[in-house]
Structure 1
Amino acid sequence: MNFIRFKVNYYTRLGQEVYISGSSSVLGDWKESESQKLRYGDNGDWELLLEFDNEKIKKESNTLTVDYKYFVMDTNGDKIWESGPNRSFSLSELSPSLVHEFRDTYQSPTSPENTYFDSAFFREVLLKRETDTIKTYTPLKSISNDKVVIHFQVKSTYVNPGQAIYIVGSNTTLGNWRTDRAIRLCDDSYPIWKVDLEFPKDQLPFSYKYIIADKSKSIVHWEQGSDRWFTASVIHASEYSQTKNEERDFFFNDGEFKDNQLLRTAGVAVPVFSLRTKKGLGIGEFNDLIQLVDWAVAAGLHMIQILPINDTTVFYTWRDSYPYSSVSVYALHPIYINIDSLTKDAKILEQVAKHREQLNKLTVLDYEAVINLKNTLLKEIYNQEKDKLDANKEYVEYLKDNIHWLREYALYSVLRDTYKTADFNQWPAEHKSPSQEMIAKETSADSKYFDQVRFYYFVQFHLHKQLLAASKYASDNRIGLKGDLPIGVNRLSVDTWANPHLFRMNMSTGAPPDAFADDGQNWGFPTYAWDVMKKDDYQWWRSRLGQMSKYFHAFRIDHILGFFRIWEIPTTCVTGLLGKFNPSLPLWRSELSNNGIWDMDRLTQPYIRYHTLRELFGEYADYTATKFLKEYSPNCFQLKPEFATEKLIEANLTEQDSMYKPGLYKLVQNVSLCKDVEDENRFYPRIEITKTSSFNELPDDLKSILHRLYISYYFERQEELWAQTALQRLPLIKKCTKMLVCGEDLGMVPKCVEPVLKDLGILGLRIQRMPSDSNKDFYHPGEYQYLTVNTTSSHDMSTLRGWWEEDRNRAQTFFNRILGICGDAPYFCEPYITEAVLTQHLYSPSMISIFPLQDWFGLSPELGSRDPKEEKINEPSNPMHYWRYRVHVTLEDLLENNQDFTKNVHRLIKASNRLLE
């Protein structure tokens, strides 16, 4: 039998109460309704004495370890859980002769320390403890009635290798505030630091603090704020009768090392396909990341960010260059494999050498030439190696660990090759809708496809080895590798083929109009069936992120707004203008009717009048009316059935009439309300409704009502729904791995996004020329919050130099207002301007500053001399864009012949205090 007093300090608002919940029946078995309410004392202290029966608890859970956490019950019944990891203790380590007092510090959800604590980027890369310096914790039990044992514990991730946390205080045991007598805490549970100390009772009470110091204690960093104090609390008389003993030991869970010193670092962003090396084959490869790490180390950087690297093979053409259109959320892209390291065959290596010079001298990536060459060579190597595979223990182990996705991916790839199409809807019935039994049969050793299936196993095995080696090399050199999580998957992917129930195949993902695309964006990916995914606790997401975490220490969530709500577009559309948010509270038919809106055909059907045709088609208005439209009333038209949607226009328009496509799209889009395809009583205002003649030619009173409903739908009524939606999804994304989570929260950003990301410790993205506040022309980096990543450009934008040259008016405004320089802005973005912009970002409060390699190059007159139009990676408004940008300098040359440039980068990093020594 053990008595434990739980004590936590939390200043509640009037009416709020503090509860404790945990993994034993005493604490409610994590059931919120059966949790224990603490009693309020003084000065924000809440406490509760509980009795634990060791035998009963052992029988309940087969363990004597108990986990617990606190939450606050709000006045409206909402439960606000503290952040951070669960607390735990072992009853087997507690003496039944004592009362054990746990003095806990409430874990704030907005604390940067919790972001450090949860992240492999900090714990396993930047601040990894050296094995030979770790001090092992030894529990101490009280053996004397004249002394008190206190178990000290504090959490701190931001402790550089070579340093440790010590405790020093006001009594003899704690060195009488002499730092040379401070006692080191143990770090074998880093970033939790522990030490057990025994104090004579005549040394009580006392004050103390934690410090960070090196081994010699010559460099000392004191924690901030007032001293911590130990004073023995008094057990109430009613409790004394329960315990029969006033002797206690104390567990001080002191929370975080109190510090205003925040870890800030910097990095470089570059797609793998863009890297150029002398030993490359016309494209960057996983092995090339090793040389990029070497340059990052020399430059003082600590993060490398890349674009998605999953297989995208659908067409076997340049169209597969789109890295966000994966055919498998697990499989790596074969184009990134290094051939030389797979074989010693002279003939194969001769072929590589023959093509190397030709492919490497190209200014841009020739996707088709590279992938076709590599596939040919990989098949030759596989045929030489396949008889040895089963004897390769590493290969066998890889197969065992990954077979759950490898079989589906390999069979899909074989069938795609066999039937000459990735559209599984066109495959024979026996393969169109797979079952696990069919997949197991067709990938078994006696299947006619087995040899081809093993080829894909072989390729993925070596891709895994090469990326894993690069990732380990990065972490060994204190460089974090940051991946990219696409918001969707290809409609014809392995995932939609094998798990169609997880997707809404009648819908597409996209984005409303923004700075990237006037007509919005339609990415073509099916949206997620979140309600279905929830039934197995989001196992698909857990597995997907678990695979990513094998290689990455951090990741960027592409379009994190999709976890709040996604812009969902019917598959009848090509552009993104006729979408709606999912989830969202619609405009109900009854709501519209109550507001005097009843003529739904007028508002939901394309509004086409003769003067509209004249405006769009000019002298070709009559031809358009005859060829594509039907006049149902004088000067009133509707589209013919074969041209009634954007997709039908795209499919049925002849090449001769292709010039009419933009105008016909405008006709389809000329509506005020969009119907819900699944419920005839739900409607949604068309985005940018005021730009349509459908809206502008309504009577003024109706326009006023509809505009008010438009504002309500897009900017008011959804915030709480979207916040709750994100709070169901994002905690899972954050907790299922130890990767640092960064969100790309650009575009039409709801007000709820920033507070939700902050509470979850997810980093938001800040781009200076894309402020979310429409009243601002630019952000100033000095106003960024700490939990953000800032950057000068993204792969969807012009580089800094490109933007400067293409938008002269804004560049002039920026030059005068943001950089604070008088006079005319120079025509080109000179190196001194680039340095001024980068310096603003580096000195900002943001946790991470990460710039595209092209923008780093802008510091150098030589490296920044390329035409910036050639350095833009993507054109978001063009769904058929060819992703083929390549860096114009080899990594070897960057390392060997551009040391002044590298030293300049290092200087900026160090001056801004982003360099971790």
Structure 2
Amino acid sequence: MIEDIKPLVENKLSFSHWQRVGTRRRFGVCTPLFSVRSRRSVGIGDFGDLEALAEVLRLCGATILQVLPLNDLGNGDAPYGAISAFALDPIYVALDKLEWMREDKGFMARLEDARCALEALERVDYPLVRQVKSQLLREAFEKAPEDVKLAYRKFAKDNEWLIGYAGFKVCDRLSLLPAEWSRDGVVREASKHTKEMEFEFFAQYCLDSQLRSAHERLNAMGIKFVGDVPILVSRDSVDVLEHPEIFRLDLSAGAPPDMYAQDGQNWGFPIYDFEACKASSFAWWRQRLQIAERFYDLFRIDHVVGLFRFWAIPKDEKTGRNGMFVPQEEWRWGEQGRLWLETFLSATKMLPIAEDLGTIPPVCRQVLSELGICGLKVQRWERFWEGDRSFIPPSQYPPVSVATLSTHDSETFRGYYEAQGDYRRDLWQAMGKRSPPPEKATREVVQEVIKWLSDGASCFMVLMIQDVLDALGLLEGDPASHRINVPAVISKMNWSWRMPVPVEDLVSRYYRDLGSIKELVGTRAG
């Protein structure tokens, strides 16, 4: 076990990024912000909950907080389908943190009524939460004092991307039909509605201020904040409207057919035109990462293999079956992926970590290793596939990696363990157990597996919040009900799970239990 990976990364291009984060072993928790329940939030976790969540992490020895994407989803709910790669989602605004509204008794009463009604719901009701919070945010906008007005107008002036985004939002909300569907056409039409444009400036100013402030408080508590930067953007996004030249709009990204999806996958998002991005010196990507750097210390690159090559499908196809790799020439994959990643490293001080799951060509992990960028090791999928198919012991994982038990797209550890008898058997064998494995993933079983994974070689271990709560025995019922997302399935169960316990109660009632997690992770604990 290597306690400090500095000797492994000090000669890598990413070393200056590692120096900002630190090279010692760490434990972290991935918590979708929408899943956080608190005594002050309104039907969904918000930026005001991050400090309380960080206190939970501190008690269990975690020094990394990872979240899913926080970008504006428009009227959607899937965090990987944002309408803007730059704007934050107004659904996450902390309304009770708007200083000038705190003395407004009527507003605070309406906010409390909304909180009581929406917090009674088991899951996130996105349309209802958006409606309620938007109405209250607009009231705060109408009552904004002069200093706030000056601040959000300056914010808009300093962030040129906000003009096009605001125009896009206003045209959509008011069902306006610009004479020309372009950035200039949209802004020209929307600018006839000055107050509506200013509302968008105001909302983004509040969100930016709150998330930056939360980031500062997390760092003061010793917590590093990991954001998620999806590699793809929605076809119906303001980014495609403003920069169509960097996208291949005739193609959609997806995944080829495999044992899990016989027709492959078609995600509907356009792929990038690599040569066009290169010709622009990756300007759009550089700006995107520089904005994310306001909020995060590290960033997760979703679907990193797409930087090397995309599985591309003609846009009118329904499945992923009739696709091809772009570029088609395998010899170009490494050169292309390396240039993307080197560009990312030059564009931001944030340390990247890569999601390298699925069918990954060897050159992808080779380049990640050469640059000193962590890949992801999901225990259930780490086997000696070319050998006896037994599990690779965590002690043999690459030190420059992130280890975990589950992801937002998979069953929770408990769910997978209890549903898969072969997995239970092979896991127990890998852990050196001679007795038959228990059929249920009790809190004791979950804790034992966490300790086994934590004792492994990966410099980071980042667990999903559900696996941590299962280690405390706090999740009841069918574990499938605690899953975040089932890919390729349209369901209200996706992206709507919420913690059953308010974060304040985790701190006040379960602090001893959280301390037991700290003991499990040993030297990783902060």
TM, length-normalised to structure 1: 0.54
In the TM superposition, residue 865 of structure 1 has moved relative to its aligned partner by: 3.3
Which residue pairs with 1:118 in the alignment? 16
Contact 1:514 1:747 in 2 (8 A): no
- 1:784–1:844 contact (8 Å) kept in structure 2: yes
In structure 2, how many angstroms separate the alpha carbons of the residues matched to 1:777 and 1:466? Answer: 47
In 2 relative to 1, CA 326–808 (structure 1 residues): closer, same or farther, beyond 3 Å?
A: same
Aligned equivalents of 2:232 and 2:477: distance in 1? 34
Letter of the aligned partner of 1:351 in structure 2? R
Within the alignment, does 1:483 sit opposite 2:227 as a pair? yes
The 8 Å contact of residues 14 and 371 in structure 2, kept in 1 or not, is answered as no
Please name the residue that 1:269 is paired with. 30
Higher fraction of strand: 1
Indicate the SS of the match to 1:885.
coil
Change (3 A) 1:896 1:466: same
Q: Per-residue deviation at 1:521?
A: 1.9
Greater CA radius of gyration, 1 or 2?
Answer: 1
The correspondence for 1:745, drawn from 349, 356, 371, is 356
C-alpha change, 1:739 and 1:478, in structure 2 (3 Å) is same
Decide which of 313, 322, 326 is 2:82's aligned counterpart. 326
Map of 2:457 onto structure 1:
845
Relative distance call for 1:823 and 1:513 in structure 2 (3 A) is farther
1:363 aligned residue? 122
Q: Which has the higher contact order (CA 8 A, sep 6+)?
A: 2
Could you tell me which residue of structure 2 aligns to residue 459 of structure 1?
A: 203
Among candidates 755, 759, 764, match of residue 370 of structure 2: 759
CA shift in 2, pair 1:877/1:838, >3 Å: same
In structure 1, the residue corresponding to 2:381 is in which secondary structure? coil
Alignment correspondent of 2:43: 282
After TM superposition, list the pairs within 5 Å mapping 1:77-156 onto structure 2: 111-112=9-10, 114=12, 117-119=15-17, 122-123=19-20
Q: Which amino acid aligns with 1:500?
A: P
Q: Which residue of 2 aligns with 1:547?
A: 291
* Paired residues of 1:268 and 1:304 also in contact (CA < 8 A): yes
Distance in 2 of aligned mates of 1:305 and 1:515: 30
- Of the candidates 395, 414, 418, which is equivalent to residue 152 of structure 2? 395
Cα distance in 2 for partners of 1:110, 1:904 equals 31
Q: Which amino acid aligns with 2:431?
A: L
SS of the aligned residue for 1:524 comes to strand
Which residue number corresponds to residue 834 of structure 1?
446
When structure 1 is superposed on structure 2, of 792-801 and 575-584 the one drifting more is 575-584
How far off is 1:114 after superposition? 4.4
Letter of the aligned partner of 1:751 in structure 2?
Answer: P
Cα distance in 2 between the residues matched to 1:523 and 1:581 = 15
The question of 1:579 aligning with 2:323 is answered: yes
Which residue of the partner structure matches residue 3 of structure 2?
none
- Runs of 4+ displaced beyond 6 Å: none
Aligned to 1:247: none
How many angstroms does 1:840 deviate by?
1.8
Q: For this pair of structures, how many residues does the alignment match?
A: 515
User: What secondary structure sits across from 1:324 in the alignment?
Assistant: coil
Instruction: Give the alignment of 1:489-888 within 5 angstroms.
Output: 489-514=233-258, 517-585=261-329, 718=330, 720-771=331-382, 774-775=385-386, 776-815=389-428, 817-861=429-473, 863-878=474-489, 882-888=494-500
1:160-206 deviation digits (Å, cap 9, x = unpaired): xxxxxxxxxxxxxxxxxxxxxxxxxxxxxxxxxxxxxxxxxxxxxxx
8 Å contact from structure 2 (residues 153, 201) kept in 1:
no
For 1:381 and 1:575, the matched residues in 2 are separated by 45
Deviation at 1:777, TM superposition (A): 4.5
SS at match of 1:328: coil
Answering whether residue 524 of structure 2 is matched by residue 914 of structure 1, we say yes
> Match of 2:500, as an amino acid?
H
Change (3 A) 1:417 1:321: same
3-state SS of paired residue (1:266): strand
Aligned residue number for residue 53 of structure 2: 292
- Distance in structure 1 (CA, Å) of the matches to 2:304 and 2:187: 36
Paired residue for 1:902? 514
Maintained 8 Å contact 2:12/2:370: no
Report the Cα distance in structure 1 between the residues aligned to 2:378 and 2:478, rounded to whole angstroms. Answer: 22
Distance 1:450 1:889 in 2: 43
Check whether the contact 1:769–1:777 (CA below 8 A) recurs between aligned residues: no
- What are the ranges of 5 or more consecutive residues in structure 2 without an aligned counterpart? 1-5
- AA partner of residue 434 (structure 1): R
Secondary structure of the corresponding residue to residue 523 of structure 1: strand
Describe the SS at the equivalent of 1:527.
strand
Write the distance in 2 (CA, Å) between the matches of 1:840 and 1:113.
30
Contact 1:746 1:772 in 2 (8 A): no
Q: Return the alpha-carbon distance in structure 1 between the equivalents of residues 524 and 296 of structure 2.
A: 21
- 1:351 aligns with 110
> What is the one-letter code of the residue matched to 1:793?
S
Contact 1:267 1:303 (C-alpha < 8 Å) held by counterparts: yes
Shift of 1:520: 2.3
Mapped to 1, the partners of 2:220 and 2:247 lie a distance apart of 39
Q: Deviations over 1:399-429 (max 9, x none)?
A: 3321x11000000000011217xxxxxx44x
Structure 1 contact 110–759 (Cα < 8 Å) conserved? no
Deviations 1:253-298, CA, capped at 9 Å, x for gaps: xxxxxxxxxx111100010000000111110001101101111122
Instruction: Give 1:554 deviation, angstroms.
Output: 0.3
* 1:217-232 superposed matches below 5 A: none
Amino acid of the structure 2 residue aligned with 1:322: A
Pair 578,771 (structure 1): closer, same or farther in 2 beyond 3 Å? farther
Scaled by the length of structure 2, the TM-score of the pair is 0.93
The answer for the alignment partner of 1:410 in structure 2 is: 166
- Structure 1 residues 777, 574: CA separation in 2 closer, same or farther (over 3 Å shift)? farther
2:375–2:402 CA contact under 8 A, matched in 1: yes
Cα distance change of structure 1 residues 389 and 864 upon mapping to structure 2, 3 Å threshold: closer
Alpha carbons 1:513, 1:519 under 8 Å: kept: yes
**How far apart are the structure 1 equivalents of 2:514 and 2:364?**
37
Deviation (angstroms), 1:396:
4.3
How many angstroms does 1:112 deviate by?
Answer: 4.5
1:801 counterpart SS class: helix
The answer as to whether partners of 1:796 and 1:875 remain within 8 angstroms in 2 is yes
Hey, which of these two has a bigger chunk of helix by percent? 2
Paired residue secondary structure (1:481): strand
2:70 aligned partner: 309
Measured after TM superposition, the shift of residue 518 of structure 1 is 4.2
SS, match of residue 501 in structure 2: coil
- State the Cα RMSD in Å: 2.1
Does the residue aligned with 2:143 lie in a helix, a strand or coil? helix
Q: 2: distance between equivalents of 1:518 and 1:793?
A: 23
Provide the C-alpha distance between the structure 2 equivalents of 1:778 and 1:353, rounded to a whole number of angstroms: 50
- Give the whole-Å Cα distance in 2 for the aligned partners of 1:843 and 1:273: 31
Instruction: Give 1:432's aligned residue.
Output: 181
User: Compared with structure 1, are the counterparts of its residues 742 and 789 closer, same or farther at alpha carbon in structure 2 (3 Å cutoff)?
Assistant: same
Amino acid at match of 1:582: V
Secondary structure at the residue paired with 2:209? helix
8 Å Cα contact 2:171/2:186 also seen in 1: no
SS in 2 for 1:374: helix
Structure 1 residues 77-116: Cα deviation after superposition (integer angstroms, max 9, x where no partner) = xxxxxxxxxxxxxxxxxxxxxxxxxxxxxxx996356477
Distance of 1:486 and 1:772 partners within structure 2: 27
Q: Residue 372 of structure 1: which of 115, 131, 154 is its match?
A: 131
Aligned partner of 1:858: which letter? Answer: D
Deviation at residue 441 of structure 1 after TM alignment: 4.4
Q: CA deviation at 1:513?
A: 3.6
Residue 807 of structure 1 aligns with an amino acid whose one-letter code is: Q
Equivalent residue for 1:419, pick from 172, 175, 197? 175
> 2:336 is matched by which residue type in structure 1?
T
